[in-house]
Amino acid sequence: MNPIKTLGQFIIEKQADHPYAKGELSRLLRDIGIAAKIVNREVNKAGLVDILGQAGSTNIQGETQQKLDIYANEQFIAALKNGGECCIVASEENEEIVMLDTDVSLDAKYIVAIDPLDGSSNIDVNVSVGTIFSIYRRQSTEGRATLDDVLQKGVNQVAAGYIIYGTSTMLVYTTGRGVNGFTLDPSIGEFCLSHPEMQFPKTGHVYSINEGNYVHFPQGVKSYIKYCQVEDPATNRPYSSRYVGSMIADLHRSMIKGGIFIYPVTAAAPGGKLRLVYECNPMSFIVEQAGGKATNGYKKRILELDVNSLHQRTPIFMGSEEMVLKAEEFMAQSEDLPNISLVG
Ligand code: AHM
Ligand code: MG
């Protein structure tokens, strides 16, 4: 029987690969792991909301119920504040950056960008949701860190990961040396290494896109969808269509089975819907580290896009390399480039 390796043990082992590391990043990852377990506990009880009380109401203990995405945001920020390794949190839930004003946090050298509960509309229907995080090193050397320290290109990420609260709960992360996945064993309350060195299959036969928006897609996306639906046994077509509506779940499936996830520009979202800093950059870092490809559909790596604002959006095409390249071919053939700067 193989011995279990916990996330904590794995992080310490990996730290030994960097003889000069002082352990700050390891502690930061550990803090995120702890907050993930707390959020997991609440997400698992979400179905009890009718018994325990809706958001905004008061539960049986007299505590006011919170929306889970706000709860998750507070838990991650509190864990990062207590840990003292992070000076700024940039979150989907906060309009502005959150400065962590403790004595130790002021000099901390890491910045964390986070989407505390992505796909949260799926909670009401008991479908997987997740947390996405991204870690940068602070660039400024004097005074307090600022928004400029947050607005770094994705290539500067030191680490990134996601937690998927699904049929089982998993934490998947990279520090730029491959991608490893850990499954939460509820009986011992630990994330245990279950998916070492995750790799995207080079190609797949599942495409993932909100096809309800079809009429509003650029011609290149429409042509690619039609390509996916044509019968061609040699390339395993027609492909299957799967769309959970939680990017983490759709991407996680693609990483294990092969596939492509697309959220293009649409008429309703002319710059794309998904956010660069805390959704697309971290997922793209993981995708590339697992041998996949992540671009804006116009042959530009997501990780190289300029970051101009905290809640900036981008179209995204990511997944198995050959599928992304094929989709980009169709994009390049069509003339209707969107009226936004996508070249970064
Ligand atoms: P959210 O951050 O408001 O939860 O939105 C992000 C989610 C992604 O997880 C998912 O891929 C996408 O929005 C689904 O959007 P749509 O319903 O437009 O297809
Ligand atoms: Mg989100």
DSSP 86-118: EEEEEETT-SS-EE--STTGGG--EEEEEEEEE
Task: Give the pLDDT of residue 104.
Answer: 75
Task: Give the pLDDT of residue 62.
Answer: 60
**Ligand closest to the CA atom of residue 114:** 2
* Residue to substitute in 115, 217, 247, 254 for testing ligand 1 pocket (most ligand atoms within 8 angstroms of CB): 247
Strand segments (E) across 211-257 = 240-241
Task: Give the pLDDT of residue 54.
Answer: 58
Task: Give the pLDDT of residue 335.
Answer: 65
Q: Work out the angle at residue 276's Cα, subtended by the Cα atoms of residues 120 and 44, and round it to the nearest 5 degrees.
A: 20
**Ligand closest to the CA atom of residue 246:** 1
C-alpha 301 – ligand 1 centre gap (Å): 21
C-alpha 202 – ligand 2 centre gap (Å): 27
Task: Give the pLDDT of residue 101.
Answer: 80
**Ligand closest to the CA atom of residue 251:** 1
* Residue to substitute in 263, 278, 314 for testing ligand 1 pocket (most ligand atoms within 8 angstroms of CB): 263
3-state helix/strand/coil string of 309-328: CCCCECCEEEECHHHHHHHH
Alpha-helix runs per DSSP H in 64-185? 68-83, 147-150
Atom of ligand 1 nearest to the CA of 92: 2
Instruction: Give yes or no for a contact between 119 and 130, defined as CB atoms under 8 angstroms apart.
Output: yes
Question: What is the separation of C-alpha 158 from the centre of its chain, rounded to a whole number of angstroms?
Answer: 14
Torsion, CA 81, CA 83, CA 86, CA 87, rounded to 10: 40
Closest CA to 303 of 344, 251, 270, 341: 344
C-alpha 119 – ligand 1 centre gap (Å): 5
Buried b (16+ CB within 10 A) or exposed e, 273-307: bbbbbbbbbbbbbbbbbbbbbbbbbbeebbbebeb
C-alpha 266 – ligand 2 centre gap (Å): 17
**CATH 3.30.540.10 boundaries in the chain:** 7-195
Supply the CATH classification number for the domain 206-333: 3.40.190.80
Task: Give the pLDDT of residue 15.
Answer: 85
Q: pLDDT by residue (tens digit) across 204-224?
A: 999 999 999 999 999 999 999
Atom of ligand 1 nearest to the CA of 118: 4
Task: Give the pLDDT of residue 344.
Answer: 43
Atom of ligand 1 nearest to the CA of 263: 11
Characterize the bridge pairing of strands 169-174 and 159-165.
antiparallel
Atom of ligand 1 nearest to the CA of 261: 11
> Does the pTM of the predicted model rise above 0.95?
no
Count the alpha carbons within 13 Å of 306 in the hemisphere toward its beta carbon: 5
Task: Give the pLDDT of residue 45.
Answer: 85
* Residue to substitute in 273, 276, 283, 317 for testing ligand 1 pocket (most ligand atoms within 8 angstroms of CB): 273
How far apart are the C-alpha atoms of 199 and 320, rounded to whole Å? 9
C-alpha 138 – ligand 1 centre gap (Å): 29
Task: Give the pLDDT of residue 77.
Answer: 97
Report whether the peptide linkage leading into residue 3 is cis, meaning its omega lies within 30 degrees of zero.
no
Q: pLDDT by residue (tens digit) across 299-317?
A: 999 999 999 999 999 999 9
- Site residues for ligand 1, CB cut-off 6 Å: 92, 115, 118-120, 210, 245-247, 273
C-alpha 70 – ligand 2 centre gap (Å): 12
CATH 3.30.540.10 fits 7-195, yes or no: yes
**Ligand closest to the CA atom of residue 245:** 1
**Ligand closest to the CA atom of residue 282:** 2
Task: Give the pLDDT of residue 142.
Answer: 87
Report, as ranges of residue numbers, the positions in the chain whose pLDDT lies below 50: 341-344
Structure tokens at 25: 């990043």
**CATH 3.40.190.80 boundaries in the chain:** 206-333
